[in-house]
Structure 1
């Protein structure tokens, strides 16, 4: 037949299947969303396991909201608790919490990618992108970095556990082995959970101020976990490259400044407080407790004196250190010390009238500055709204504004130090703290990106310039 043309006949798909598959691929297209879902899955599994009668010492079912709070706190390596970890949970429940801490500290995506690589499976590009997003870097080859993350974490936790056994096994016998492992993992992952409630409910490390081995080991593990794996990888590469990344230099300098200034702040505010440092028997223990609080208040959640009895000035200044937090790609939380450095450098540049933001003689791109400002603003907004809601919904508990703000910052920065608000909080307030912990562990920007429903980035348009008075 003249003028004929081939007709393409396609087989129709079953009704609805193609549309559902496309929607599923869209929902899990972005790495931030997959990581957010993986954390949520771990939290839900942990919640179910903690609800079981086998997890509680009295053999009863633990309320759902309390288990959700504990599982979120463990997975997000925060440390805020409703029940004392030792007196309420059985050995099975404590093991569940330990696994949640380890999984949350390293990240489920990081761990699964590492073990897939360890058994010889080839990581596809999508898996590599996920692993980079989970660790928080695009600078290095991901495979050796994965080995460093998991292998280095296990090595540090193992070394810390062995040191803690020297002190805890003579005190607790064979049980001290598990106590040492639990404490080492909790410290390196900056989680703040402990098993020392047998010496007093929620006592944490208040009974070990005179033991430099325990306090020194826990401090070292907290700092090691808070520096970030990118810093370690860069330091290991220094022998070959003979140079350090700007990121590494900023993290090391900021960490040293924050630790020293936090210690001096604690000494100045609490030296004469008879309920905290003033209650310790000698100056050496006061100095040690002040140093430990400076280490732990940024990310970890352990405490060496009753934090609810601190002065108001200490709580306000501590909230600033907690909000800053640890380094990127670490087990710690907060807005990250690098974000604080970028913000401070931006203020200095504006004060000098400079057009560019400079750190260590390196010019920062505007995208880094914009993202830093967004992280700080979103974090402050979340904390302020949470603190206001806690005060409104818990009026009967007479929670002060300082305490509500302190507890909200502790949740958002995944620190876990409590001044008593969590135990007295209403279900609504606990729900807000759960959301804050989850948001803080993912990061404000990643949290919002995981909720974004835009299919494609908007095209760049040339718009007319406008002026706003500042």
Structure 2
């Protein structure tokens, strides 16, 4: 690929000059080295990711505020734009604004934020920094004390223990090779599923006039909808260009099944499909390195995010088992309920599966969650709380990881981590804080602002999911028949006070970085 420029000579001929991307590549490489050195010497991995998400949050909010919406009468406050930006970059996608009021340019901003905040893309960024590290190490012969890097199961491992030793060696070469191969595989993985997802949706809408008519009636560009929905599903974001999310397509089971598959490969089943992608690459390219990667331990940080075979299968079976358990309960409790009113059996099953899968961090919605029975809602809260790495295993903890964590220096930060509250305590604190800020609404409108609904909303934000029970004027009017109210198709968060929205912003940011606090709170005995 090349960048072209032209100049006119005296003879009147236009001679094209081609400038290689080599210079641009060198600039990018220098930038990656600078970021790595900064992260290695001055910034911890947690602070580096915190700066990444916060900077994109404010950049996104400014773009959303500056770009003109599609509705000239729509003039939301900056706090709402900050909330939407935070919700997108943390792939929480709790909405406080009707999506159809946004212009196409604003939709593109939200789509880019979800893409940049997705787990798979963040994994790719970590690998790019690791590549910059190994490239730098190969050209230097002095030892440098490097900071810790995050491991897939939240253990903290030294860079030197991750096959990133400073002195050039065979381990350095192997680590660099594996890192480069993982970058290529994950880049192809991202591109492949985005192209397949977008193309599949375009093909479906091209063949089904009724579904295509829904977008035409709403004035939504077909390609933008298909691309944004695919990006949202793969990143497990949850925002789509329609204000009602996927509820308007709950009679189109093919659309829901396509997005269910994209959501699974983009988060919960990513480790499984990553191994399959590496296996396919080994068959296509016949490179021995791919086979070596699959046979290696996988617990070493140099192979992250690739997990060992046994751990990958246990994680995948756990995810499928939990999904089946909730699906069975959901269908048993609500099959003939109002939540599936008007749908045939296949549409009911598809919508139930869609909601259950999306409760594991994807957040897209095809039904009214407020109509789900309380027992299922509680189960969904547990599903939203569990991280994507949650796995059932009877095997003992891996010795190498255990030894690495035990060798971690017991300094000031270690004592601080022991004193900080455990993760579940922060959900409790956040729920209490929201109940305080929304106490008047809870007293006046106890059906919409019930304690269960608030717990559901806060847990959804903490788990970066995006499901919400929403707000219904009919429930308010049951308590106060004379109350004036207008239904809005967005999350219950949109009806919170400014203080409540600020609390949810902090909850979403904390939830996106909760893997760094997985080992905190050991000084607190909760049993």
Relative distance call for 1:434 and 1:365 in structure 2 (3 A) is same
Equivalent residues in 2 for 1:410-429, closer than 5 Å: 410-420=460-470, 421-429=492-500
Distance in 2 (alpha carbons) for counterparts of 1:222 and 1:254: 16
Relative distance call for 1:447 and 1:264 in structure 2 (3 A) is closer
- Structure 1: runs of 5+ lacking an equivalent: 1-23, 198-202, 327-335, 346-356, 450-467
Report the RMSD for the aligned CA atoms in angstroms: 3.9
Identify the match of residue 153 of structure 1 among 179, 190, 215: 190
Deviations 1:16-68 (A, max 9, x none): xxxxxxxx889843122111111111111001101114246327653121111
Relative distance call for 1:27 and 1:123 in structure 2 (3 A) is closer
Identify the match of residue 337 of structure 1 among 384, 390, 396: 390
Identify the match of residue 429 of structure 2 among 368, 373, 385: 385
Aligned positions, number: 391
CA contact (8 A) 1:46 1:100 kept: yes
Deviations 1:414-461 (A, max 9, x none): 000111221211111111111111111112525999xxxxxxxxxxxx
**What displacement does 1:93 show?**
0.5
Distance in 1 (alpha carbons) for counterparts of 2:466 and 2:437: 21
Partner residue, 1:97: 110
CA contact (8 A) 2:84 2:95 kept: yes
Partner residue, 1:297: 359
SS at match of 2:396: strand
Distance in 1 (alpha carbons) for counterparts of 2:78 and 2:526: 51
Relative distance call for 1:298 and 1:368 in structure 2 (3 A) is farther
Say whether 1:249 aligns with 2:249: no
- Structure 2: runs of 5+ lacking an equivalent: 1-37, 139-145, 155-161, 164-174, 283-290, 296-307, 409-413, 443-448, 471-491
CA contact (8 A) 2:91 2:118 kept: yes
Runs of 4+ residues deviating >6 angstroms: 24-27, 113-118, 129-132, 134-137, 361-364, 366-371
Distance in 2 (alpha carbons) for counterparts of 1:377 and 1:261: 31
Q: Taking structure 2 as the reference length, what is the TM-score of the superposition?
A: 0.65
CA contact (8 A) 1:47 1:68 kept: yes
Distance in 1 (alpha carbons) for counterparts of 2:137 and 2:106: 37
Deviations 1:149-201 (A, max 9, x none): 2321121011001111123345146921111000000001100101123xxxx
Say whether 1:177 aligns with 2:223: yes
Say whether 1:268 aligns with 2:332: yes
Partner residue, 1:309: 371
Partner residue, 2:441: 397
Relative distance call for 1:366 and 1:412 in structure 2 (3 A) is farther
Partner residue, 2:508: 437
**What displacement does 1:393 show?**
1.1
Distance in 2 (alpha carbons) for counterparts of 1:131 and 1:303: 38
Distance in 2 (alpha carbons) for counterparts of 1:149 and 1:300: 20
CA contact (8 A) 1:49 1:55 kept: no
Say whether 1:215 aligns with 2:256: yes
CA contact (8 A) 2:90 2:114 kept: yes
CA contact (8 A) 2:61 2:78 kept: yes
Q: Taking structure 1 as the reference length, what is the TM-score of the superposition?
A: 0.73
CA contact (8 A) 2:39 2:45 kept: no
CA contact (8 A) 1:113 1:123 kept: no
Relative distance call for 1:306 and 1:51 in structure 2 (3 A) is same
Say whether 1:168 aligns with 2:168: no
Distance in 1 (alpha carbons) for counterparts of 2:461 and 2:526: 36
**What displacement does 1:301 show?**
0.9
**What displacement does 1:91 show?**
0.8
Relative distance call for 1:382 and 1:245 in structure 2 (3 A) is same
Distance in 1 (alpha carbons) for counterparts of 2:184 and 2:153: 15
Relative distance call for 1:211 and 1:175 in structure 2 (3 A) is same
CA contact (8 A) 1:194 1:204 kept: yes
Bigger drift between 101-110 and 243-252 goes to 101-110
